[in-house]
């Protein structure tokens, strides 16, 4: 009998923010897939979930190239897919851990698409996205009343970021680490800088909260950095 694949959101960083359902799923896994990039050792998602993992659970690290999709070269993705399939066909329950929520800007989405048409059972377990945790940690309302929330990946071309900021009531800016200076300038131009709060590694031991984002110009931000703002 084939095993089951679980896509598990482990939340933003604090192990206590995993859902009960996520913890229960982790405890029944035979194998955990821990995604990592080519440049870094270890897995943040695995570290967050570590206290809930059984000692006998096998940990399999898989490298996923940080590219937009995988149309040009899917060699690594296909290799990872095959490894997961073999584990499932061996009757093992396999969990794929992901930061935040599995269906929100996640590597898991691509893994799910590769496997969804195979003869395997898949269950996706939601997690708390970082921006929700940041709102609570800083007592910052994310959106209320009849306002509209825009979620903006700040690594898009600047003209698209600028266009999104011009029309938003409230905004969450993800992936601000690559072009933070330009993002801070755009927020100032649109009158969105003074109300902004920036959080890096929210929920982790080295969490940083910044309420004056203008002072962050010229500084390198952590990959796990997000800005909340509103008009």
Cα separation, 172 vs 151, whole angstroms: 5
Is 148 in contact with 169 (CB distance < 8 Å)?
A: yes
Domain shared by 121 and 134, yes or no: no
152 has which bridge partners? 173
| Dihedral angle computed from the Cα positions of residues 72, 75, 78 and 80, in that order, rounded to the nearest 10 degrees | -120
CA distance 134 to 140: 8
Closest CA to 136 of 209, 32, 42: 209
We report the CATH number of the domain holding residue 149 as 3.30.950.10
Of the candidates 99, 20, 109, 95, the one whose C-alpha atom is nearest the C-alpha of residue 59 is 95
Same-domain pairing of 28 and 45: yes
* Dist CA 200 CA 180 (whole Å): 12
Residues 107 and 137 in one domain: no
| Full residue range of the structural domain in which residue 205 is found | 130-230
Closest residue by Cα to residue 176 from 210, 144, 204:
210
Task: Render each residue's pLDDT in the chain as its tens digit; 231 residues.
Answer: 789 999 999 999 999 999 999 999 999 999 999 987 665 667 899 999 999 999 999 999 998 876 555 556 678 888 999 999 999 999 999 999 999 999 999 999 999 999 999 999 999 999 999 999 999 999 999 999 999 999 999 999 999 999 999 999 999 999 999 899 999 999 999 999 999 999 999 988 999 999 999 989 988 999 899 999 999
**The tokens 């490894």 sit on which residue?**
83
Query: Which of 125, 145, 160 is where one domain is finished?
Result: 125
Residues 82, 86, 87, 92: what is their CA dihedral angle, to the nearest 10 degrees? 140
Q: Give the whole-angstrom CA distance, residue 26 versus residue 20.
A: 10
Q: Is residue 83 within 8 Å of 31, Cβ to Cβ?
A: no
The SS3 assignment for 31 reads strand
Domain end (from 67, 95, 125): 125
3-state SS class at 166: helix
On whether both 121 and 201 belong to a single domain, the answer is no
Rounded Cα distance between 152 and 37, Å, is 23
pLDDT score for 125: 98
Q: Which residues pair with 61 in a beta bridge?
A: 34
Query: What does the alpha-carbon distance between residue 172 and residue 213 come to, in Å, rounded to a whole number?
Result: 14
Phi, then psi, of 77 in degrees rounded to 5 = -65, -45
First to last CA, the chain: 55
- pLDDT value of residue 72: 61
Q: Quick one: tokens of 92?
A: 């093992």
| Cα–Cα distance for residue pair 103/113, rounded to 1 Å | 11
Same domain, 115 and 21: yes
What pLDDT is stored for residue 124 in this prediction? 98
Domain of residue 118, CATH code = 3.40.1010.10
Where a domain ends, among 102, 125, 148?
Answer: 125
Number of domains observed in the structure of the chain: 2
Q: What is the pLDDT of residue 63?
A: 87
């Amino acid at each position: 009998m084939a095993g089951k694949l679980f896509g598990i959101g482990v939340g933003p960083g604090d192990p206590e923010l995993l859902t009960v359902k996520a913890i229960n799923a982790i405890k029944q896994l035979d194998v955990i897939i821990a995604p990592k990039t080519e440049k870094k050792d270890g897995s943040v998602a695995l570290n967050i979930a570590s206290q809930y993992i059984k000692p006998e659970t096998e940990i399999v690290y898989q490298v996923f190239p940080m590219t937009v999709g995988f149309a040009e070269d899917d060699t690594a993705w296909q290799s990872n897919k095959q490894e997961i399939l073999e584990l499932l066909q061996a009757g093992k329950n396999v969990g794929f851990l992901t930061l935040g929520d599995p269906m929100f800007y996640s590597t898991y989405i691509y893994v799910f698409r590769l496997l969804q048409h195979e003869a395997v059972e898949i269950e996706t377990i939601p997690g708390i996205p970082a921006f929700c945790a940041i709102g609570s940690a800083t007592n910052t309302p994310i959106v209320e009343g009849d306002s509209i929330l825009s979620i903006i990946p700040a690594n898009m071309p600047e003209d698209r970021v600028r266009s999104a900021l011009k029309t938003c009531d409230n905004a969450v800016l993800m992936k601000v680490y690559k072009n933070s200076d330009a993002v801070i300038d755009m927020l100032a131009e649109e009158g969105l800088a003074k109300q902004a709060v920036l959080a890096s590694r929210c929920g982790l031991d080295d969490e940083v909260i910044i309420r004056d984002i203008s002072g962050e110009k010229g500084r390198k931000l952590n990959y796990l950095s997000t800005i909340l703002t509103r008009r």
